[in-house]
């Protein structure tokens, strides 16, 4: 029996029925970009927190 495939909307949070899916997608994108910068600069977790200004 073949599996049925449903095309996603492009927002996994919307597809899974989460509240505020657009906000969640934006936050996920921002977190990803922060991670890219941290890796590019080869920062430790402690140094990244210092640069961002959080404990």
Q: Which pLDDT band holds residue 1 (cuts at 50, 70, 90)?
A: confident
Look at residue 6 in the predicted model and tell me its pLDDT. Answer: 87
Helices (H), the chain: 12-15, 21-41, 45-52
How far is C-alpha 42 from the chain's CA centre?
A: 19
9-48: per-residue pLDDT in tens? Answer: 999 999 999 999 999 999 999 999 999 999 999 999 999 9
pTM greater than 0.85 (yes/no): no
């Amino acid at each position: 029996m073949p599996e049925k495939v449903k095309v996603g909307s492009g927002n996994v949070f919307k597809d899974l029925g989460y509240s505020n899916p657009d906000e969640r997608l934006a936050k996920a994108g921002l977190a990803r970009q922060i991670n890219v910068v941290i890796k590019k600069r080869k920062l430790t977790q402690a140094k990244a927190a210092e640069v961002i200004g959080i404990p």
